Chains A and B, each alone.
Chain A
Amino acid sequence: MSDYQSYMKGSPLEVKVISARFGLPNSTSIDTFLAHEGYQGLKKAFQMGPDAVINEMKSSGLRGRGGAGFNTGLKWSFVPKQTDKPKYVVCNADESEPATCKDRPLMEYDPHQLIEGIVIAGYAIGAHQGYIYIRGEYRYLMDILDRAIAEAYARGYLGRNIQGSGFDFELCTHTGAGAYECGEETALLNSLEGLRGYPRVKPPFPAVVGVYGCPTIINNVETLCNAPHIILKGAEWFAGLGTPKNGGTRLFCLSGHINRPGVYELPMGFPLRRMIEEVGGGIPGGKKLKSVIPGGSSCPLLTADEIDVAMDFDSLARIGSMLGSGGVVMIDQDTCMVKVAQRIMKFYAHESCGWCIPCREGTAWLKRLLDRLHGGGGLPGDPDTALDVSYNILGKTLCPLGDAAAMPTISIVKKFRSEFEEHVSLGACPYERKAVAV
């Protein structure tokens, strides 16, 4: 269990849509859920019909909350209507992007909201089977979801002829066992088929050829949790919460050097500076901010001068970064950026599935280079080599993991180059030396 107080500190600036039920007593129970608009979106969806549901989703401007930011309704619309194959909904609950812990409270405090979203998705595309792929480390969440699923079956929100609609839908959980790569949708599908989590060649895309060779949509937990609200309250309402083409709210996970770390639901496009200063309460110890990871460790990092930006997909893209998964990490002035780069690369080297050359060999190379550089064995050419190697990975890998490793590295080397050079010239980490001196 997570400590509710430490995650849900709350802020008056929050706009609570998908986290609205979090604080309720017995929030995981279906009775609580039903007493608070639970399964109303689903019932409305049954009245609207599948096409209308997809259109509503499209015009809501909901974009994938896993990180890629693709329009959810559009993704659903790619599933072929005429096919003799079964279709599937797979919920990606493999939350593994470093600095991201938002799907965890969504499943822990309001599991029925997710179930409702999945059933709506299934109804929209004509699927009758769903799987929730949960990372292995989240075992307690699987237990919570399994109980909620059992409740939903018992009360007729899953199974045959849901609420008399004539629509059948089966749902179960599926556990991973420790692999970041399985968050990539095609690797997830392979993993769901009992294979190693290697990504697949695209096209074909999962909407056409997904799990078991059948049309499949794969959506992140948070994405699906939004669906009931969009259906219930309308696309217009949802779109109005955010910025153009960036509908709704977003769960932001503030972590690192911040006074009030926690998960906060804020409108899309919320200014980063206010997020840090007003929501998060600023940097501890009155220290200066040095850098921000805006959306999980795969995103290019921002400098302290770049925080006057709206936290939505397009605004961050304009300044060369990404909204990503909502994991916002504040890094203070006393932090060694080489060490940050090294730790990030250690992660990607560890998690590279090893299938394709540039990612497998490139991340391992960069990890060793950064280890050596941070450890005092830096060579003058290292910063440029690190950049070159990153560029040689970028855009050349089978799946996005290569880019995810290259992008933060490129941004750190470029934006904090002097720190790399200082490591080389000192033959040591200046920050660790400082720490020793103190």
Chain B
Amino acid sequence: MLSEALKSRFDQVIARYPLKRSAIVPLLLFAQDEIGYISDEAIEEIARRVEVRPIEVIEDISYYSMLHRQPIGKYNLQVCTNVSCQLLGGEQILDHCSKRLGIGHKQTTSDGLFSLEEVECLGACCGAPAMQVNYDFYENLTPERVDRLIEELKANGKAR
């Protein structure tokens, strides 16, 4: 079930556009922020609200790389390996995360805490190598910084 807060945000967002379907991508992202992924229920609900067929929503989900239809970890580590980061060890950071968490690209740890993803340029080039954990940027990474971050996240994740 989508929360009432989310539904009322849907209404606000849809009202911004002369064409309701304009709201699809924002609604999908906001729904994902709340549910953790885009459920079939969310697809139906969004399609109904913006007056399109569900397949049109599904077309969008599979186009935009941040949207996913399956649950992922509480913390999604998105490591940039594009050229600026690559030159300064982005791939090593990705490898390090992978070894440390025991998961590969687009995989999730069995405790559901972490997911790992190799991503394209995040716009953090002057802080390379960089990654995003969910929406938070972490820059000038070293394997040691990554280790500390993972420990902190683990502690936070278990605390909740």
- A residues adjacent to B (C-beta < 8 A): 1-3, 6-7, 86, 95-101, 103-104, 135-140, 172, 174-180, 191-197, 212, 253-257, 261-263, 293, 297, 327, 329, 331, 335, 339-340, 343-344, 347, 350-351, 353
Contacts and interface: CB of A to CB of B under 8 A. Distances in A.
Nearest to A95: B123
A347 B121 contact: yes
Given A178-B66, A178-B67, A297-B83, A137 B123 contact: yes
B127 A329 contact: no
Interface of B: 16, 18-19, 21-26, 28-29, 50, 52, 56, 59-60, 63-67, 81-84, 86-88, 120-128, 132, 135-137, 139-140
19 contacts: A2-B124, A6-B139, A7-B126, A96-B123, A98-B120, A99-B125, A100-B123, A135-B123, A139-B135, A175-B29, A176-B64, A177-B64, A178-B66, A191-B25, A194-B25, A194-B52, A343-B82, A347-B121, A350-B65
Given A101-B125, A136-B29, A140-B135, A180 B87 contact: no
Nearest to A180: B120
A172 B129 CA distance: 32
B155 to A, nearest CB: 21
A98 B83 contact: yes
A86 B135 CA distance: 35
Contacts of B82: 98-99, 297, 343, 347
Contact of A177 (B21, B29, B139): B29
Given A101-B124, A177-B28, A137 B66 contact: yes
A150 to B, nearest CB: 13
Given A179-B63, A335-B87, A347-B83, 19 more contacts: A6-B139, A7-B126, A96-B121, A104-B124, A136-B66, A140-B137, A175-B29, A176-B25, A177-B25, A178-B65, A191-B25, A195-B21, A196-B60, A196-B63, A256-B83, A256-B87, A297-B82, A297-B83, A344-B83
A293 B128 contact: no
Contact of B135 (A137, A212, A262): A137
Contacts of B60: 194-196
A137 B86 CA distance: 19
Contacts of A212: 18-19
Contacts of A261: 125-128
Contact of B22 (A193, A262, A297): A193
A174 B87 contact: no
Contacts of B81: 343
A191 B25 CA distance: 8
A137 B119 CA distance: 11
Given A177-B66, A193-B21, A343 B83 contact: yes
A38 to B, nearest CB: 25
Contacts of B83: 98-99, 256, 293, 297, 329, 340, 343-344, 347
Contacts of A335: 87
B89 to A, nearest CB: 11
B84 A98 contact: yes
Nearest to B134: A139
A192 B22 contact: yes
A343 B60 CA distance: 26
B159 to A, nearest CB: 22
Nearest to A263: B126
A350 B120 contact: yes
B126 A262 contact: yes
Contact of A256 (B66, B84, B139): B84
A172 B56 CA distance: 24
Nearest to B28: A177
A136 B23 CA distance: 14
